[in-house]
Each structure stands twice: as structure tokens, then as C-alpha cells.
Amino acid sequence: MRNTLAALAIIAASPALAADGPFFSLSNTDFVVLIAFILFLGVLVYFKVPAMLMGLLDKRAEGIRSELSEARALREEAQTVLATFERKQKEVQEQADRIVAQAKSEAELAAEQAKVDLDKSIERRMKAADDQITSAVKAAERDVREKAAAVAVAVAGEVVAGKMTAKDNDGLIEAAIKDVGAKLH
């Protein structure tokens, strides 16, 4: 404290050397200002203003430190939350990729199954069509045979009727009766 006052006195005295007349006189304004300044500093020291200022500055520094530590804590919490969200996003992306891959494989399997089912359906329809064609051919052959037989019987009946006499007719009837009688016994 003494060193401070001595330094202040030396600094304050340098302009005083340039003044006219004795320095330590109440008529010298520089001296009066110096005394007033020293008294002002004394009042400040008496009322412990420097300690209060230091206390306020300490409080302010402590407040800044607490705000900084709070900001660090908030930053760490934000980084934790960000890491959590990034991890969740990664998990969701992986799950979405798995779902897409599974959907693609299921779609491929469904397409292959549909192709197999279509081939089977075409094969069944072709077989049914072949069966219908075969049945139609058999029916047509049967109709042709029946008509041919009917035509042949009609023609044969006309030919036989034209060439047969009553005696031949009686002989055929008797032979038929014998034949039926032999088959029945």
C-alpha cells in the first residue's frame, strides 16, 4: 500500500514541477487536486471499496465459471443426445435396409412362385385342351362309324331285300332262332 501511494505521489508530482510558485500551497490547484485525489483514495480504502470491487469481480468470475461449467455440461449432454440420436438413426437405417432386403427377397420368391404357378396352369390348360381335342376326335370317329354303319345297314338292307326271296327269308329266320336257342341254353 505504501509503495502504491509513493508511486501515485511521484506520478502526481511530475506535472506539479511545471507549475509556478510553491507546490505545497493551497493556492496551487495541482496540489489541491492531488490532496483531493488522495483523500478520495483514502475514502475508498476506508469503506473497503477495493475489497468490495474485488469481491464483485470474484463473484462475477465465479458466475462466469459456473456458466462455463454449465455450458460444458449442456454441451456434453447435447453431445450425448446427439450420439444417441445418431445411434438410433443408424439402427433405424439398418432396420430399414433389412426390411428392404427382405421385401426384395420375398418379391423374388413370389415372382418365382408365380412363374411356377403360371407354368403349371398353362400345362393344366394345355392338357385339358388336349383331352377335349382327343374326346372330340373320338366322338367324331364314333359318329362317323355310327353313320357309316347305319348307311351300310341301310344299303345292305336294300340290297338284301332286293335279292332275297320269301324262302331265303324263312331260312334266315329259322337259322337265327336256332342260333338264339343255342346261345340261351
The percentage of residues in the chain with a pLDDT greater than 70, rounded to a whole number, is 86
Q: State the Cα–Cα distance between residues 138 and 70, nearest whole angstrom.
A: 99
What is the pLDDT at residue 110? 93
Please tell me the predicted confidence (pLDDT) of residue 71.
96
The pLDDT confidence band at residue 20, using thresholds 50, 70 and 90, is low
pLDDT, tens digit, 9 for 90 and up, residues 82-111: 999 999 999 999 999 999 999 999 999 999
Polymer length in residues for the chain: 185
Q: Which residue has the higher pLDDT, 12 or 117?
A: 117
**Is this structure's pTM higher than 0.75?**
no
| Average pLDDT taken over every residue of the chain | 85
Q: Please report which confidence band the pLDDT of residue 74 belongs to, taking 50, 70 and 90 as the band edges.
A: very high
In sequence order, what DSSP letters do the residues of 16-77 get, joined into one string?
HTTSSS-SSSTT-HHHHHHHHHHHHHHHHHHTTHHHHHHHHHHHHHHHHHHHHHHHHHHHHH
What distance in Å separates the CA atoms of residue 118 and residue 137, rounded to the nearest whole number? 28
Burial class from Cβ neighbours inside 10 Å (0-12, 13-18, 19+) for residue 36 reads exposed
- 63-78 average pLDDT score: 96
Return the pLDDT at 173.
79
The set of residues, in sequence order, having a beta carbon less than 8 Å from that of 45 and lying 6+ positions away, is: 1
What distance in Å separates the CA atoms of residue 69 and residue 66, rounded to the nearest whole number? Answer: 5
Q: Lowest-confidence range among 6-20, 53-67, 131-145, 171-185?
A: 6-20
Q: Which of 57, 47, 55, 45 is nearest to 1 (CA)?
A: 45
Q: How far is CA 62 from CA 29, 42, 49, 56, 70, in A?
A: 43, 28, 19, 10, 12
pLDDT value at 9 more than 70: no
Mean pLDDT, range 25-38, rounded to an integer? 90
